[in-house]
């Protein structure tokens, strides 16, 4: 296995079919067939997304009023490039999904955790089927809020696809079992998926030297678990088009069954 | 204290640049009053141009790192004439590889450490991002101590502040009152100990 220069990455381990609750192997033609994510509602909570990747009226940002953060409509706008990269990955796998962006980078670093919590709460209330969170927080005062929200999402049919931290630290919400958490492998294949037999990371997806869209129509090569998570979001969008009634638990099982590292 | 503060930052960027054989390394700190990320120290190409420059904390790769506390590795900027960072604007130097890690302490981001064009992804078997993150973490811990000390000094120096008012009260005490006040202090210490 090639070296991966950050934490929560694949060690190249195999999973065993005997750990999965299905009698027959599932294949990708059953999981998604020719699905392109059509009609599946996906929310990207990140640095914003450039216009060409978004549907009309689907860009939002955070506004602070007193101590509270609110989600408000915005022109499509990405101030860092990160969100555009994630959205581009999702679109590459699920070109026909409906993408919405909530831009949560703020000028007030001391309340950035509250902005994240408010954005996530809004996205769950809006019942997006998939929420891509290629970020996490280490702030302890936000942990319980995020935990409750992750549980609410699970019960509401909203699946959070979250990136594990790039450093060997504990952060949230990717550590919660009610979300799908994603680390990186270095196999240059957007559809190569590894199931992790040793959680808390659930899956590994393509996250090293990934070619991505960037601000202003540019491209970059980027590395990090941030870019692995949207690959799983894209695959989930395909699965949800083919199987619209699936929630997080079903998606976790299907993804495990179609992983490339099962023996 | 200002000298120690500056020396920690200068040492951090020099060490980062040398460890990665990088073209340059810089550190931004978050200035809460201005709401900006400010270049506080830089080593290597362009170091004389960028000190004191400020960027919005929600812009660019540094803004991403500052907001999320995540490290980042971005390649391919040199081939893109639109690449835009405060560093590139100030120096004309456009790196091909940008590596950035949060300078943080106990979950609070104090700033961002960037390394431009590092020569290698691994240093003696340790991944570059891990090493950069550790370096940024050490810098954050040292800075946090200095910032705490600076806040304490500032509190003591305030002419109408609680410390000065308390000193004036103590100066007027007789021995019996002083014993009573010492007893009171003991109670306060017990109540406020973490």
Q: What is the pLDDT of residues A11-53, one digit of tens each?
A: 888 988 888 888 888 999 999 999 999 999 999 999 999 999 9
Considering only CB atoms, A109 lies closest to which of B60, B67, B129, namely B67
Q: Look at residue A177 and tell me whether its pLDDT is greater than 90.
A: yes
Sign of CA dihedral B171, B175, B180, B186: positive
Q: What are A201's two structure tokens?
A: 């990371």
Cβ-Cβ contacts under 8 Å for A147 (sequence gap 6 or more): A172, A173, A176
Does domain A36-257 fall under CATH 3.40.50.200? My reply is yes
Q: Which CATH superfamily is domain B2-152 in?
A: GAF domain (3.30.450.40)
Strand pairing category for B97-105 and B108-116: antiparallel
pLDDT of residue B152: 82
For residue A7, the chain B residues in CB contact (below 8 A) are: 130
Range of lowest pLDDT (A95-104, A118-127, A135-144, A226-235): A135-144
Would you place residue A156 in the very low, low, confident or very high pLDDT band (cuts 50, 70, 90)?
A: very high
Q: Look at residue B86 and tell me whether its pLDDT is greater than 70.
A: no
Considering only CB atoms, B75 lies closest to which of A105, A106, A221, namely A221
Residue in chain B closest to A108 (alpha carbons) equals B35
Residues in chain B whose Cβ is within 8 Å of chain A: 30, 32, 35, 56-61, 63-64, 66-77, 80, 82-83, 104, 107-109, 121-122, 127-130, 133
Considering only CB atoms, A224 lies closest to which of B72, B77, B130, namely B72
A62 lies within 8 A of chain B by CB: no
Domain ranges of chain B: 2-152, 159-192
Q: What is the pLDDT of residues B170-179, one digit of tens each?
A: 889 998 998 9
ipTM value for the complex: 0.86
Residue range A130-152: average pLDDT? 94
Strand pairing category for A159-163 and A130-133: parallel
pLDDT of residue B74: 87
Q: How many CB pairs under 8 A join A and B?
A: 119
Q: Look at residue A239 and tell me whether its pLDDT is greater than 90.
A: yes
Q: What are A248's two structure tokens?
A: 């997080």
Q: Look at residue B127 and tell me whether its pLDDT is greater than 80.
A: no
Residue in chain A closest to B37 (alpha carbons) equals A107
Range of lowest pLDDT (A170-184, A188-202, A242-256, B8-22): B8-22
Would you place residue B194 in the very low, low, confident or very high pLDDT band (cuts 50, 70, 90)?
A: low
A79 lies within 8 A of chain B by CB: yes
Mean pLDDT across chain A: 93
């Amino acid at each position: 296995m090639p070296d991966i220069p950050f934490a929560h990455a694949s060690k190249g381990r195999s999973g065993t079919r005997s750990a999965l609750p299905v009698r027959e192997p599932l294949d990708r033609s059953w999981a998604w067939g020719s699905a392109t994510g059509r009609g599946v509602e996906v929310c990207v909570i990140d640095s914003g997304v450039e216009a060409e990747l978004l549907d009309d009226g689907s860009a939002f940002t955070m506004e602070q009023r007193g101590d509270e953060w609110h989600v408000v409509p915005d022109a499509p706008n990405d101030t860092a490039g990160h969100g555009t990269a994630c959205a581009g990955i999702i679109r590459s796998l699920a070109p026909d999904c409906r993408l919405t962006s909530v831009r949560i980078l703020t000028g007030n670093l001391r309340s950035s955790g509250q902005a994240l919590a408010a954005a996530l709460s809004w996205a769950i209330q809006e019942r997006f089927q998939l929420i891509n969170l290629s970020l996490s927080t280490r702030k302890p005062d936000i942990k319980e809020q995020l935990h409750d929200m992750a549980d609410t999402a699970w019960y509401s049919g909203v699946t959070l696809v979250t990136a594990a931290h790039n450093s060997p630290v504990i952060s949230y919400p990717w550590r919660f079992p009610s979300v799908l958490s994603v680390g990186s492998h270095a196999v240059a294949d957007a559809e190569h998926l590894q199931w992790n037999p040793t959680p808390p990371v659930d899956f590994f997806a393509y996250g090293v030297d990934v070619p991505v869209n960037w601000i202003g129509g540019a491209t970059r090569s980027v590395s990090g678990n941030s870019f692995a998570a949207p690959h799983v979001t894209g695959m989930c969008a395909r699965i949800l088009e083919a199987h619209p009634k699936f929630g997080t638990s079903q998606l976790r099982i299907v993804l495990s069954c179609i992983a490339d590292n099962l023996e | 204290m200002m000298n120690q503060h500056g020396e920690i930052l200068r040492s951090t960027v020099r060490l980062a640049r040398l460890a990665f054989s990088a073209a340059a390394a810089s550190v931004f700190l978050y200035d809460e009053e201005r709401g900006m990320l400010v270049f506080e120290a830089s080593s290597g190409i362009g170091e004389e141009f960028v000190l004191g420059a400020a960027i919005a904390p929600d812009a660019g790769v540094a803004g991403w790192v500052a907001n999320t506390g995540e490290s980042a590795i971005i390649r391919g900027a040199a081939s893109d004439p639109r690449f835009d960072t405060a560093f590139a604007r100030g120096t004309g130097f456009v790196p091909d590889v940008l590596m950035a890690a949060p300078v943080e302490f106990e979950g609070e981001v104090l700033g961002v450490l960037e390394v431009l064009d590092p020569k290698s992804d691994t240093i003696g078997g340790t991944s570059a991002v891990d090493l950069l993150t550790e370096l940024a973490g050490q810098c954050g811990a040292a800075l946090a101590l200095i910032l705490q000390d600076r806040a304490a000094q500032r509190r003591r120096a305030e002419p109408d502040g609680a410390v000065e008012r308390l000193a004036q009260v103590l100066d007027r005490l007789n021995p019996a009152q002083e014993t009573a006040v010492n007893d009171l202090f003991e109670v306060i210490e017990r109540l406020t100990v973490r």
